[in-house]
Amino acid sequence: MIVLITGCRSGFGLHAAVEVARRGHTVYAGLRDLSTADALRTATEGLDVRPVQLDVTKPEERDSVVAEILAEHGRIDGLVNNAGIAIGGFVEEIEEDELRRVMEVNFFAIWALTSACLPAMRAQESGAIVNISSRSGVYALPVLGAYAASKWALEAMSESLRHEVRPFGIRVTLIEPGPYKTDIFDRPYAMGRNVGGPNSPYAQFMDKLNETVNQSKASAHDPRDVARKIADLLEAPAPALRHPMGPGVVPSLLARRFLPFGLLERLIAKKTGLTRG
């Protein structure tokens, strides 16, 4: 298979590039900045992994990578939309440019890159598209409203797309990870720049929320589990649409589905400290 994976600097993307290539496939590993490829090159030494410059928000880079793959191989068998960013913060305090940025990376760029790959997949009457969503794509917790919005949008588009491209032999799947040991929430832009300051009406809740986040990080699992799932889904002939993964994810999704919302709301308030004084 010829597979394009985005966001391969670290985390799921880097490990997926390794795992997919180990299984004998050719991987084009997208990096927002090609100068950061050292870790990828070290991890994939001896494997057929080709780092490529790919800021998924830039049309010229999306088009260039797709054209390069088609020129060299005449086909694209798999697309893994892994590149993404996170932003935390109370909805009221997220700035408009921050919200637009997270939607641009986590939703619009995925739509655009997928659309660029689909003509080739339709022509060859086969293909696999794996979109990396999140538990937040089906379960919107406090302080993750903007991030969850981007993932809910991705979930809806992916479900619709699955129906649309199935007649062409193209498979669409979603992975919904919970806490894993990646750096997505540790980057400088992970929290809104005006969130939770001393004059914030939400400042009183920050300590409890930070405690909850730290507990979640402490239980985080090995991202290589997700990498193996990505490779499995690329190879699977008839995979299910959604694949929740990670500590506590399945129970939380079951609670979201079956518990009355009022009860769930009270449980979340107790856990996060977002209760009336």
Q: Which residues are catalytic?
A: 147
Cβ atoms 234, 172 nearer than 8 A = no
Amino acid at 72: E
Amino acid at 20: V
Residue 228's contacts (CB-CB under 8 Å, 6 or more residues apart) are: 19
Q: In this structure, what is the dihedral angle of CA atoms 127, 132, 136, 137, given to the nearest 10 degrees? A: -20
Angle subtended at Cα 216 by Cα 215 and Cα 221, rounded to the nearest 5 degrees: 125
Cα gap 267→275, rounded to integer Å: 10
Query: How far is CA 53 from its chain centroid?
Result: 19
